[in-house]
Structure 1
Amino acid sequence: MNDILTAGKVETATDDRGVATISFFHPSHNSLPGVLLTELAETITRVGQEAATKVIILRSEGDKTFCAGASFDELMAIEDEAQGQIFFSGFAKVINACRTCPKIIIGRVQGKAIGGGVGVAAATDYCFATQQAWVKLSELVVGIGPFVVGPAVERKIGKAAFAQLALDAAEFRTATWACNHGLYAEVHDTIRHLDEAVTAFAGKLASYNPEALRELKQVLWQGTEHWDTLLVERAGISGRLVLSDFTRQALQRFKA
């Protein structure tokens, strides 16, 4: 297997307040190949079930890009619909892991979020960002669409704003735009201020009644119970489109 598809890592740490931090990294702008998506989803599920965990912070490493979405190299390597559906189902696994996790998940977005990265940010329960955390759903540019992440993004920002992001696929929207539309709860000028705000908020949540937080989480995600099947069906759409001549040619142009 290509080394770039197996590169990256997911790490966890829990402090004495019960705040668990899940951090992911990939050398290609924190893009997420299938192996890393599976590991991230499994880690969110496992940490969410641990008795010591009161609240979770989900973050990536580095100071440039929060998550560049799908692994470009892995997209290029997809050979049939089944393989494509399995790959795009990786994002479905992460979103559904966040959705079904019984603990509140705080997002920490320090830089740009692209494609699936926007979906990961949208799957958190309360998201902090910096002014550099611009967002773009670029899938249409290469002939697919934000089908898997769409329900999570639309849930946060509404159908009209989702349509803006999805259709204006070549352009970034600012962090302020994302905050005004509900993707981010707060936007900070620097990473230091971001981390201070995330740490303080996590401490507050960790001091609250865990039973109340668990019940509130269920209320916040009410109406999404069908996503286990919906997101996999959406992955099938992307898995089919990624094999189209349009997408193959677009990927080759980007590669060149």
Structure 2
Amino acid sequence: MVTTRQNGSLYTNIQNKIATIEFGHPASNSFPLELLKRLQKEFQKLSENEQVNVIILKSEGEKAFCAGASFDELVAIENLEQGKQFFSGFADVINSMRSCKKLILGRVQGKTVGGGVGLAAACDYTMAIEAAAIKLSELTIGIGPFVIAPAVERKMGLAALSELSLAAHEWKNAYWAQEKGLFAKVFESISEMDKEVALLAEKLASYNPQASQEMKSILWENTSHWDKLLMDRAAVSGELVLSAFTKNALKKFKK
């Protein structure tokens, strides 16, 4: 079932200490700002929920995992404040994932672009299928993956971030992403991946929650400055999106 709602959908199901968040949007599971705000709040809420030990993040359907930020909202930005607010959406979500007390498993069933790559990188352990190619296409429209870059670099290293962001026109396949550390495992089919995701979630849910929380804080050491850093990066993107270069690039892209 794929949502037809203009602002997308977000559902959370909790069973056996495992919370599964499923997001969806008719435009290849992209994110309008309202949906990002809902996802941010959901991570904050689950972080404090004592009935939850582990979180699975997934998206609807069998095609794209996430096409990044909403193109329609990107085109509609008219001033600096709107620009900063728009790009702060992914900054807030990544920071809520970083500070969430629960381990987060990513389930990536298809192609992933821009902010979607940032989400996959901000998960603590991500599995994918062979069809889950990734791309950071921001430079092609005159902006850059500035907000998500810290999350991508933390997971994949500076060389991989450089290759992804500079070869902005190229798709990298799931095995490349696995080799660089974004994906822990890659599967031939969604059903195989889902079995493994469920198995790992079950195991993690059975562990001492305090130990898991301590482990997570170690994995995210030296990132407390991200609250400011990602907002500063959002402001840079918000300024660039108003440039003549980007406005022209977006017009061409829309046509």
TM-score (norm 2): 0.97
Cα deviation, residue 177, structure 1: 0.3
Hey, what does 2:7 align to over in structure 1? Answer: 7
Hey, what does 1:73 align to over in structure 2? Answer: 72
1:65 alignment partner, SS class: coil
| AA at the equivalent of 1:238 | S
Hey, what does 2:98 align to over in structure 1? Answer: 99
Kindly provide the CA deviation profile for residues 62-86 of structure 1, in whole angstroms up to 9, marking residues without a partner as x. Answer: 1110000011000000000110000
- 1:93-172 mapped onto 2 (5 Å cutoff): 93-172=92-171
Query: Following the alignment from structure 1 to structure 2, what is the Cα–Cα distance between the partners of residues 6 and 100?
Result: 29
Kindly provide the CA deviation profile for residues 198-243 of structure 1, in whole angstroms up to 9, marking residues without a partner as x. Answer: 0000001011111100000000000000000000000001000000
2:253 alignment partner, SS class: helix
Whether the aligned pair in 2 keeps the contact of 1:84 and 1:240 (CA below 8 Å) is yes
Q: Give ranges in structure 2 of 5+ residues lacking alignment.
A: none
Q: Give ranges in structure 1 of 5+ residues lacking alignment.
A: none
Hey, what does 1:205 align to over in structure 2? Answer: 204
Query: Following the alignment from structure 2 to structure 1, what is the Cα–Cα distance between the partners of residues 244 and 83?
Result: 15
Query: Following the alignment from structure 1 to structure 2, what is the Cα–Cα distance between the partners of residues 169 and 45?
Result: 32
Hey, what does 1:174 align to over in structure 2? Answer: 173
Alignment pair present for 1:51 and 2:59? no
Query: Following the alignment from structure 2 to structure 1, what is the Cα–Cα distance between the partners of residues 150 and 5?
Result: 27
Hey, what does 1:37 align to over in structure 2? Answer: 36
Provide the alpha-carbon RMSD of the alignment.
1.0
Query: Following the alignment from structure 1 to structure 2, what is the Cα–Cα distance between the partners of residues 49 and 167?
Result: 39
Runs (4 or more) in structure 1 with deviation over 4 Å come to none
Query: Following the alignment from structure 1 to structure 2, what is the Cα–Cα distance between the partners of residues 60 and 252?
Result: 28
Count of residue correspondences: 252
Between the aligned residues of both structures, percent identity stands at: 54
Cα deviation, residue 7, structure 1: 2.1
Whether the aligned pair in 1 keeps the contact of 2:6 and 2:26 (CA below 8 Å) is no
Query: Following the alignment from structure 1 to structure 2, what is the Cα–Cα distance between the partners of residues 170 and 18?
Result: 41
- 1:179-198 mapped onto 2 (5 Å cutoff): 179-198=178-197
- 1:21-36 mapped onto 2 (5 Å cutoff): 21-36=20-35
TM-score (norm 1): 0.97
